[in-house]
Structure 1
Amino acid sequence: MTMKDMLDGLPELNSPYALTSEQIEAYRRDGHTMLRGVAADHEVQAYRTVISGLVRESNDQTKPLHERDTYGKAFIQIINLWRKSEAVKRFVLAERFGRIAAELMGVDAVRVYHDQALFKEPGGGHTPWHQDQIYWPMDTDKTITLWMPLVPITEAVGSMTFASESHRKGLIDRIEISDESHKTLAQYIEGKGFKLVNYGGMAAGDATFHGGWTLHAAPGNPTDTMREVMTIIYYADGTKVAEPKSSAQRNDLNAYFPGQKPGEEAGTDLNPIVYRRQ
């Protein structure tokens, strides 16, 4: 089969997903939401084969689980798969997903920051409490992450756990994902009395969306099957590059906005617009 034949056989993922006003309101109030059937089962399965195969090829983790640190135990992480495969590119740059991101945030257009596969191995550890946006050199609160399982996940594995309304606090702490972040932010969450929400089991093609400042964590994987998840991070078109406040942000600036400087409009060939409201 040629590459063209394979691409011709993949679903386009451009048809719109009808959001309700209640879903939009809930996202803006809580900083997260879960949407059923963002991709149909046959659509997910068509892309899962390519994505999971690419993750296996790209994974250079050789240490057994018990020898890794907390971050290493949390998941196999492969970033920007869309740059490695024309098939994955069609998934990551899908207009349907970008439109949902734009409508939830209430913006006219969105760009991709980057994608990342997050595969939690059998027996894999928990993902500590954190805020995604501490890593991102962007001067905006209009950022959002799609988190979509490519296989059904049971309640035992579950979705991520979100601290509702925590996004309203903006930056809480620059601490990176670690045992320290888990302990410090858990104490902060308890002190503020945020409501914790875990959406439980999810079907392949369901998706959660959460804001860049929304506190979240994820349980470990007590099952004997891989938790295969694909994520895509979006930001509002027109966002400016921020002055990096940490080495992590400097690294991200070089990796995802190469050649750009603080104050410039964020966007390179790595950050295509995937949806613009007509």
Structure 2
Amino acid sequence: MNYHAIRAIYIFEMGRAFRTLLQSIVSPVISTSLYFVVFGGAVGSHMAAIDGVSYGAFIVPGLTMLSVLTLSVANASFGIYFPRFAGTIYEILSAPASAFEIVCGYVGAAASKSILIGVIILITARCFVPFDIAHPFWMAAFLILTAVSFSLFGFIIGVWADGFEKLQLVPLLIVTPLTFLGGTFYSIDMLPPFWRTLTLANPVVYLISGFRWSFFGTADVGVGLSLAMTLGFLLLCLALITWIFRTGYRLRA
């Protein structure tokens, strides 16, 4: 294992985040804080509790997942796309580093940035609404698995995209809508039977449900199913990335 290669890519990507601190860290935290102010404070004060949890506290896991998902995809996709755009990807591919080590560097950095943002958002949320974490270990597990899974997904998008427009296409048209419709601001049990059944086809539902269970001990779907869906998505992304490096898809062309 070439740890020097992993460390070099990881440090470079993390350094890029801290060089653009306002854009990478401060901006998403402020944006999410506004959600807490508007929905948790203004709207939540007029809404009944959901499963015994105040509305302000109920949306904390969903908003945290919303930020982690979108930032994981954005960080990882741009991280691998820019070397392709600048032409430095060939230097990376010709370096004494395996595909696994390259992916570890880029995905590890993207996931680390997303996890950092998620933790900061949780700390910030505590300033607006009181909440407790019933299962801290599983909260951390879901947070890490989600960040890694969607960083892998973002890596795939960064390889697939052949322009900055396509780089934003999937996150804006697919990931963000699925997150908003995945129970970020509501419980899917509040939906009519037909729409609830239809919503279960949304994979983000299982991520948010499992993460919310780690906070309050209640979930829209079983926590075992949520964990299985998260791991299944991670393995699917790993399989696609393995195929990309074996075939050289959009990397060597």
TM-score, scaled relative to structure 2 = 0.35
Greater fraction of residues in strand: 1
Please identify the structure whose Cα radius of gyration is greater: 2
